Structure 1
Amino acid sequence: MIKVLLFAHLQEKIGKDQLELEIIQSTVAELKNKLKNQFQLYELNSVMTAINEEYAMDEDIVKSGDTVAFIPPVSGG
């Protein structure tokens, strides 16, 4: 199982701050595509990704037991 943490507008769009998915292994890109199809989270194209609190790229592998965070861009002053 993979825990997915969502922040800001991603959280608001699906009404939850986290998901638990029955996935044994996947790339970040495959995980994003699954979430885009299942929840219409097309904004995932423009977010940073972290696996177990370390920034990750789309080709990085996510395994069962990992926590993946999708972090939208932040603006402020």
Structure 2
Amino acid sequence: MKIHFYGRLAESVGREIEVDVPESCSVSELRALLATEYPRAANALGHRVRALVGDIVVADSHIVRSGDSVEFFPPVSGG
């Protein structure tokens, strides 16, 4: 599965990685897996970061499939 990161997450993990996920993996479980593999990004992967699957914002309970493309967007600030 391809995972794309933006903002601070891209700085900690990289812009794009590919990981193997177990069948029936939720976004929440994916966050935990990524936090384990990339401890520097663990805090940044918190629930304030939005997860998108196929251009749709999804909840942490959403089940991702091996062919999905997942994106994580940190909160945006500015003025």
Structure-2-length-normalised TM-score: 0.88
Amino acid at match of 2:45: L
Identity of aligned residues (%): 32
Q: Which has the higher strand share?
A: 1
Write the distance in 2 (CA, Å) between the matches of 1:24 and 1:65.
12
The answer for unaligned runs of 5 or more in structure 1 is none
| CA shift for structure 1 position 24 | 4.7
Unaligned runs of 5+ in 2: none
Q: What's the counterpart of residue 49 of structure 2?
A: 47
Query: How many residue pairs were aligned?
Result: 75
Q: Deviations over 1:41-75 (max 9, x none)?
A: 22111201101110000100000110110000001
Aligned to 2:4: 5
Query: Which residue in 2 is equivalent to 1:75?
Result: 77
Q: Over residues 10-38 of structure 1, what are the superposed CA-to-partner deviations in whole Å (9 max), with x where a residue is unaligned?
A: 11112x20111122531000000000011
RMSD after superposition = 1.0
The range that moved more, 55-64 or 42-51, is 42-51
